[in-house]
């Protein structure tokens, strides 16, 4: 019997194409019901590459009464997060799977049932057990916050260990193993913060030895490997941030300049803090894990420091990690975005209403210096700046200087009440939509308070490196006098 090898090879090739095509078109179907949603936002999302600077893709279910449904393209297993208002819940998905979810809004994220067919998923049962144990612990941790910051660290560390034990019991080595790794990272953060607070209250405390012990422990549990770093909220960022704080650098800046926002402290003490952050990178042994970790440090420099300060590390990263195109492409895009709103660039136009419905644009303030203040009534650091802002506002004539407050408040009624509560004399504009606000995103905002100073020609003069309580008056005196 002869075999037509050309025919056989052709058919095998066709089958491979069909297989690839099918896998590329795989999807998961989610359906379910929720007893009450009201006007709460409800969506699913996948953790982005960068916790703050990457776009987040949201999947919004179709809602019909209490029932919802959603199709998600999916080519490999992954964890998505289900969000209702400000609370979230992990959902493990596999390609071509159909799952059903039952939610009781008043209990969320507790009392959630996830089924495949008739059977509740084991990972979901385990996560519910984990929540049952850890929700009370979280309340105790919140109650211990003041004692912890005063150097009374033992109770907080015991509670953190209890959370980690619960994660080990219910999540480790299972479908939600990444959540166990994240909890291990959170426990390390508590231990680092304990070093900072304890040395502040106990002059005989050996912080250097405690740091060495902690790094050795982190090495022993595999915290610095790629899987662990990807499981964390923000890669290596939180660990390096709190590690650098254990050297008393923050306290030194506050001692010299007085009370400042954390953002300002980080700018003033950048060289010293950055040196300590980079010490941690030496504990990361594989190249891809280092590439992933360094991405967070470089992105933070680009986002929070003048570009001329960030550029050397940015250029070095592109050279050293050229093989990791996902990481380098993200940084290139982010760098371009920040460069577009750097000093010297034209301000980005906007059109926003005040409380009376009057629309403000850049044309309304041309010919004067303008401070754009992105804020919200729930933001205490924003509110803390108001006394200084009022004094500065009264010090300059309106043909020289203006402030435009742009609220990021989600609820317009809350914004109206905030205006009445604070009685600030400058124009109050409403953008709404939280951190998804169009104007806030156009200026690449990542947190509030967020300040941009424009010159009389409508160009950006200062980009989020000024504070009314710190240096705005000196900056304005120089600019307006000149």
What confidence score (pLDDT) does residue 265 get? 80
SS3 16: helix
- From the list 366, 342, 381, the residue with the least C-alpha distance to 463 is 342
For the chain, the first-to-last Cα distance in angstroms comes to: 96
What confidence score (pLDDT) does residue 1 get? 43
Q: Residue 4 and residue 34: Cα distance in Å, rounded?
A: 59
Q: Residue 454 and residue 345: Cα distance in Å, rounded?
A: 10
> Is-contact 114 139, C-beta < 8 A?
no
> Is-contact 420 309, C-beta < 8 A?
no
- From the list 90, 114, 48, the residue with the least C-alpha distance to 178 is 90
What confidence score (pLDDT) does residue 121 get? 94
Return the residue matching tokens 């049952």.
Answer: 132
Give 10-residue mean pLDDT values along the chain (482 residues). Answer: 47 47 74 93 96 93 96 94 95 95 96 92 97 97 93 95 98 97 98 94 93 97 98 96 93 81 79 92 96 96 90 97 98 96 95 96 96 95 95 96 96 94 96 89 91 97 91 94 75
Q: Residue 315 and residue 303: Cα distance in Å, rounded?
A: 15
Q: Burial level of 456, CB count in 10 A (0-12/13-18/19+)?
A: middle
CB atoms near residue 67 (< 10 Å): 12
Q: Which two tokens stand for residue 283?
A: 């504990």
Return the residue matching tokens 């644009």.
Answer: 361
What confidence score (pLDDT) does residue 10 get? 47
- From the list 453, 467, 468, the residue with the least C-alpha distance to 342 is 453
What confidence score (pLDDT) does residue 24 get? 59
SS3 173: coil
| CA contacts within 13 A on the Cβ side of 416 | 7
Find out whether the peptide bond into 313 is cis, omega within 30 degrees of 0.
Answer: no
> Is-contact 260 275, C-beta < 8 A?
no
Q: Which two tokens stand for residue 7?
A: 């025919």
Please, which residues have CB within 8 angstroms of residue 344's CB and are 6 or more apart in sequence? 459, 460
């Amino acid at each position: 019997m002869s075999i037509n090898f050309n025919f056989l090879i052709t058919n095998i090739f066709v089958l491979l194409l069909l297989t690839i095509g099918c896998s590329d078109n795989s999807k998961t179907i989610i359906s379910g019901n929720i007893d009450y949603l009201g006007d709460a936002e409800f969506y699913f999302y996948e953790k982005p590459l960068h916790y703050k600077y990457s776009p987040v893709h949201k999947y919004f279910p179709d809602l019909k009464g209490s029932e919802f449904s959603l199709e998600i393209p999916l080519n490999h297993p992954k964890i998505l997060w289900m969000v209702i208002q400000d609370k979230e819940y992990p959902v493990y998905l596999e390609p071509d799977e159909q799952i059903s979810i039952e939610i009781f809004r008043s209990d969320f994220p507790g009392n959630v049932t996830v089924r495949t067919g008739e059977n509740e998923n084991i990972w979901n049962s385990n996560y519910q057990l984990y929540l049952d144990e850890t929700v009370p612990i979280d309340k105790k941790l919140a109650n211990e916050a003041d004692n912890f910051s005063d150097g009374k660290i033992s109770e907080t560390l015991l509670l953190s260990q209890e959370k980690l034990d619960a994660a080990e019991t219910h999540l480790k080595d299972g479908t939600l193993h990444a959540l166990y790794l994240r909890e291990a990272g959170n426990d390390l953060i508590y231990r680092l913060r304990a070093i900072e607070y304890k040395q502040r209250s106990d002059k005989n405390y050996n912080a250097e030895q405690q740091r060495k012990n902690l790094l050795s422990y982190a090495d022993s549990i595999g915290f610095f490997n790629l899987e662990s770093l990807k499981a964390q909220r923000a890669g290596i960022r939180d660990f390096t941030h709190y590690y650098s704080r254990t050297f008393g650098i923050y306290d030194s800046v506050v001692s010299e300049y007085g009370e400042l926002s954390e953002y300002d402290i980080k700018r003033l003490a950048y060289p010293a803090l950055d040196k300590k952050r980079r010490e941690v990178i030496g504990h990361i042994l594989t190249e891809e894990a280092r590439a992933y970790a360094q991405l967070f440090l470089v992105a933070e420099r680009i986002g929070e420091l003048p570009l001329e300060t960030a550029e050397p590390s940015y250029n070095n990263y592109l050279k050293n990690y050229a093989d990791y195109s996902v990481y380098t492409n993200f940084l290139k895009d982010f760098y371009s975005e920040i460069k577009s709103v750097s000093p010297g660039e034209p301000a980005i136009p906007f059109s926003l209403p005040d409380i009376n419905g009057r629309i403000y644009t850049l044309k309304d303030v041309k010919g004067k210096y303008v401070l754009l203040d992105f804020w919200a009534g729930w933001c205490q650091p924003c509110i803390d700046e108001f006394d200084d802002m009022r004094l500065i506002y009264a010090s300059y004539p309106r043909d020289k200087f203006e402030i435009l407050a742009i609220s990021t408040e989600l609820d317009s009624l809350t914004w109206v009440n905030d205006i009445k509560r604070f009685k600030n004399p400058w124009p109050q504009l409403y953008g709404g939509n939280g951190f998804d606000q169009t104007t806030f995103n156009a200026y690449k905002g990542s947190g509030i308070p967020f300040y941009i100073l424009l010159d009389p020609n409508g160009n950006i003069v200062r980009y989020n490196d000024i504070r009314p309580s710190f240096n705005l008056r000196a900056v304005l005196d120089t600019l307006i006098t000149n």
